[in-house]
Structure 1
Amino acid sequence: MKKLLAVIACLPVLLQNCAKTNDTPEPVSSVSTVSSVSSVSTASSVLSTTTYNYLVTFPAHIQTALAATDNMPANNPITNDGAILGRVLFYDKNLSFNRTVSCGSCHKQANAFDDEVALSKGFDNALTTRNSMSLLNIRFYKSGKMFWDERAATVEKQALQPIQNHLEMGLTLAELESRVKAQSYYPALFQKAFGSTSIDSVKIAKALAQFERSIVTYQSKYDRVKQGLETFTTLEARGEQVFLTAPANAGAVSCAGCHTPPMFLTSTPAGAFAFPREAGINGQPRFKSGSLRNISTRKFLFHNGTIADVSTMLNAGVPAHGVPRPDVAALLAFFNTLTDDSITSDPKFSNPFKQ
């Protein structure tokens, strides 16, 4: 699972994928809770499982984009029970070799399901070979191909690879299934999600994929503007126009050609940004284009994490992503409107393990 902020992109402009035990149950959210809390103790932690609603009715501009780009397969639709199981699996450190890391260790909610370092640490403190990509809005990546080089055909296929990676989590599929079966809280969760207490890697992958696809941003200022609830400032409006407009030079495409609104990503980018001497998609020197949502708060961009933040990228004139200096402030102002703070604090996406 390495950082979806692809920033591959457009030729001209821009941007560019434990402490002590706490026996207090997780609080029930008055907004998104569907039912009550139950807690199961393990040797070192308390697991709190609140039943949340993951079946969101999105605003019209988001729903229209979803209809055109949804990669959710018919055999694995998001359900509340499936996403709840996926959430537990996502944060469960039992799914790593020495039980020290989880999927959530490298895809942190507070960092927009991104990491705050260029390369993440695996279970034995070895560094990953790619930057951890954000998981925001991966459901809108139409091709469904995951990782910076798109080597996984679906989110389901992607979900198990970090667990098996010798640097990241270090388990075999047989070991994964054994670890999950050994935890007392899983049979009931699998029963509710899949109608059976039987546990296997296929179901584990499906549940993880349901949770990951549910992580959608739709409560930013940009979204309120598109719903007619708020208006851009003059500088923000200017930034949107810069983002949408292709420069005058021959062959140029707009930023939106690779980061298409309203989710600011596409699996069929209009441009191409080459990284010489690096093999990416189909062995070529290019990498996937990911969502720019929450880009203003994210750090270490591109597949190798070499660019500190979006301001650095614009001001340093990264090839094919630099912009005229007068436009930098406007673009940064516009990018700020893409920040959805709720996604980084909503309890339904948080760690259910209280340690």
Structure 2
Amino acid sequence: MPKSHSPRMKKHLLLLATLSLFLQHCKSTEEAPNPVETASPRVPETADNYLTTLPAHIQTALAGTDNTPTNNLLTNDGAALGRVLFYDKNLSLNRTVSCGSCHKQAASFDDEVALSKGFNNALTTRNSMSLLNVRFYRSGKMFWDERAATLEKQALQPIQNPLEMGLTLAELENRVKSLSYYPALFQKAFGSTTVDSIKIAKALAQFERSLVTYRSKYDRVKQGLETFTAAEARGEQVFLATPGGGGAISCGGCHTPPMFITSAPAGPFAFPLEAGINGQNRFKSGSLRNVGTRKFLFHQGTIPDVNSLFNGQRPVPAHNIPAPDVANMIAFLNTLTDESITQDPKFSDPFN
């Protein structure tokens, strides 16, 4: 017969068994995966048309500034896949945020706050840039400090950022592979159901390059379909004028028409706690398209809206804009608003 344990030994064994069960429960709780969203994206059987015929004045600009690489040309199926990836919250660690959470269509693919919230509610360190017209940034360098050499390289960095989306590339690939709606989308976009981070980056970049504004009042004027008001026409003159001569530059020097973007960084600006590109106090110049409806401008979100750009307390060059012309300048900037891109279904969240 087996030897019986003493009461003291029995107590120790019971404690050890209880502790073992507790540790197993903790381990299983830590490792239990978050539930995958059951909703599948609503995408048309035939992809939407992202290969839009642009007006002549924009086509001319694109010919000289397009940063699309030859190995990632824009296609309808590629952009359609990119749209799903862009809005898929499964691409964040706890499946709560997507790229579209900080780049909202209704906000011109910008955010409505100065600093955005990541997957764990921590705030980002910079204001999210509008993604409109990034295809026209000739150098292809992305982020306020231009640390990403291409849009394809930029596309994966927020996903890996510990504050924003929090995944590793291996986790990203496994997440996408695990979702039933992706094989068909990858097959259409790339001719293979194989998923990897390179294809994910390419698809996201294609969708972002499709975000081109060309249906504003400014565009209709340049096509001869409409005319500026007197205030708008004066505002355009002020915008393009070189203030004070000499080495000064115009607003259009950093925000060149017709897309009001250039890959020549702006600055130097003296911002606290921020030195920008290579510590030079210079920052990427984003497109001013839709600036009239966007909020919290500049990399720190220090300017609440376009009306606050010229109030005398902004940390940007005054460009010697005469006080009477401030209203004219704002009137002109408001002609750059393309409301259609904020409502077009092919750019919308397919999970809603």
Q: Which bracket does the TM-score occupy, shorter chain normalised?
A: 0.7 to 0.9
For the structure 1 residues 43 and 296, does the alpha-carbon distance in structure 2 shift closer, same or farther, using more than 3 Å as the test?
Answer: closer
Tell me the CA shift for residue 44 of structure 1: 3.1
State how far apart, in whole Å, the 1-side matches of 2:72 and 2:132 are: 19
Kindly provide the amino acid, as one letter, of the partner of residue 239 in structure 1. Answer: G
Which of 188, 194, 214 aligns to 2:184? It is: 188
**Are 2:347 and 1:353 equivalent residues in the alignment?**
no
Aligned to 1:22: none
Q: Which has the higher strand share?
A: 1
Cα distance in 1, alignment partners of residues 57 and 217 from structure 2: 13
How many angstroms does 1:277 deviate by?
A: 4.7
- Give 1:248 shift: 1.9
SS of the aligned residue for 1:260 comes to: coil
- 1:128-187 C-alpha deviation (Å, 9 max, x unpaired): 000000000000000000000000000000000000000000000000000000000000
Please list, as runs of the form range in 1=range in 2, the aligned pairs for 1:1-355 lying within 5 A after superposition.
44-50=38-44, 51-248=47-244, 250-269=246-265, 272-275=268-271, 277-318=273-314, 319-321=316-318, 323-354=321-352
Could you tell me how far 1:272 is from its partner in structure 2?
4.0
Cα distance in 1 for residues equivalent to 2:208 and 2:329: 29
Deviations 1:104-148 (A, max 9, x none): 000000000000000000000000000000000000000000000
Q: How much has 1:273 moved relative to structure 2?
A: 3.4
The Cα shift of 1:279 comes to: 2.1
Greater shift, 264-273 or 78-87, is seen at 264-273
Is the 2:277–2:283 contact (alpha carbons within 8 Å) kept by the matching residues of 1?
A: yes
- Matched to 1:189, the amino acid is L
- Change in Cα spacing, 1:243 to 1:43, as seen in structure 2 (3 Å) is closer
Give the Cα separation in 2 of the matches to 1:124 and 1:43.
18
Instruction: Tell me if the contact between 1:315 and 1:325 (Cα under 8 Å) persists in the aligned partners.
Output: no
My pick for the range that moved more, 336-345 or 45-54, is 45-54
Unmatched 5+ residue regions in structure 1? 1-41
Note the alpha carbon deviations across 1:81-109, whole angstroms, 9 max, x for none.
00000000000000000000000000000
Q: What amino acid maps onto 2:98 in structure 1?
A: S
Deviation at 1:269, TM superposition (A): 4.8
Return the structure number with greater relative CO, CA threshold 8 A, min gap 6.
1
Q: Any stretches of 5+ residues in structure 2 without a counterpart?
A: 1-35
Return the index of the structure with the highest Cα Rg: 2
Give aligned pairs, total.
313
1:276 and 1:285 in contact (8 A); partners too = no
**Percent of aligned pairs with the same amino acid:** 76
Q: Which has the higher helix share?
A: 2
